[in-house]
Amino acid sequence: MRICDFFVIDAHVHPFLDPKDCIGRFGTPATLAEMAQELKKTGFARACGSVIRRKKMETFQEVCELNETALKAEELFPDLFIPGVHVHGSFPEESASELRYLHEKRHVRWIGELVQHTLGTGAYDSPGMFRIYETAVSLGLPVNIHCPDLNVVERVVKNFPRLAVVLAHPDDGSAFLERSALVGRYKNLYLDLAGTGLFRWGMLRNCIGRLGVEKLIFGTDFPVCSAAMNLAGVLAEDLSKEEYELIFAGNFLRLTGLKPDKELHHE
């Protein structure tokens, strides 16, 4: 199979406007335009994700600034970027209000990737976050979380069975087996393929066999990781056309309610 055979959405990227907010290890891409060029060159139709700043967020205004940056990325490149937004467990009411506004007025359909250990936004199973999840459920918004503690992940999905939770990163070795096994136990838990994992030959086929293809969301974690290598890791596996289509875009579109054509970008 070739990339040109598919409509591909990278559901895990981190756009930026200020070069200091580029979390690529080697300082590249240097601009949002360079990031967009690289993603398009790789063959992606769309890319979704949140802005990550290597700084603890102590005020809710800082949360709003990151969200506005994600929206600005969409404004500058409307044919590519889909905004992912942040919330903060220490500001549950403000976060809930922000989600309602972003969903109703700015057509946002994705929360995250949330990275609480970098941004200092609080534990994913805190009372504040539980209040935020209630709003996410009412709006039908999936949430993508970076969380190595699977006990925390399980508490979230058990308490919110109608919340679509996307667990970022498959990981490797025994950690991969534990993470994927947890995903297999809960209907509302999905696995984001970004980062470590796809470099292991057969990992994806193994995942599909144990979890079902509908549980997998394609992502790359660009510019932290190579977008092209993650893409090749999927294309290299012996999958059916339907499996490729679901992983590359179908599952993401189902969770967000977006369309794989011009309707993807709102009026």
The reported pTM is 0.95
Cα separation values, 151 from 84, 110, 113, 190, Å: 25, 23, 19, 15
pLDDT beyond 50 at 29: yes
Q: Is the pLDDT of residue 267 over 50?
A: no
* More confident call, 259 vs 266: 259
Long-range contacts of 29-32 (CB under 8 A, 24+ apart): 29/223, 32/73, 32/76, 32/77
Kindly report, residue by residue over 105-161, the tens digit of the pLDDT.
999 999 999 999 999 999 999 999 999 999 999 999 999 999 999 999 999 999 999
Residue 262 pLDDT: 47
Q: What are the pLDDT digits (tens) for 89-101?
A: 999 999 999 999 9
pLDDT value, residue 3? 78
Per-residue confidence at 264, pLDDT binned at 50, 70, 90?
low
pLDDT value at position 95?
98
Mean pLDDT of the chain: 95
Q: What's the pLDDT band for 261 if we cut at 50, 70, 90? A: low
pLDDT score of 2:
78
Q: 145: alpha, beta or left, given left = phi > 0 and alpha = psi -120 to 50?
A: beta
Alpha carbon separation from 140 to 22, 111, 130, 262, 265 (Å, rounded): 30, 11, 15, 22, 18
Specify the amino acid at residue 13: V
What CA–CA distances, in Å, run from 172 to 34, 117, 180, 231? 30, 20, 10, 17
Which of 45-49, 176-180, 239-243, 257-261 has the least mean pLDDT? 257-261
Give percent above pLDDT 90 in the chain: 91
State the angle between helix axes of 127-139 and 92-105 in degrees (0 to 180), rounded to the nearest 10: 20
Cα 262 to chain centroid, rounded: 21
Q: What is the pLDDT of residue 15?
A: 98
Go through the domains of the chain in sequence order and give each one's CATH number.
3-264 (3.20.20.140)
* Structure confidence at residue 263 (pLDDT): 47
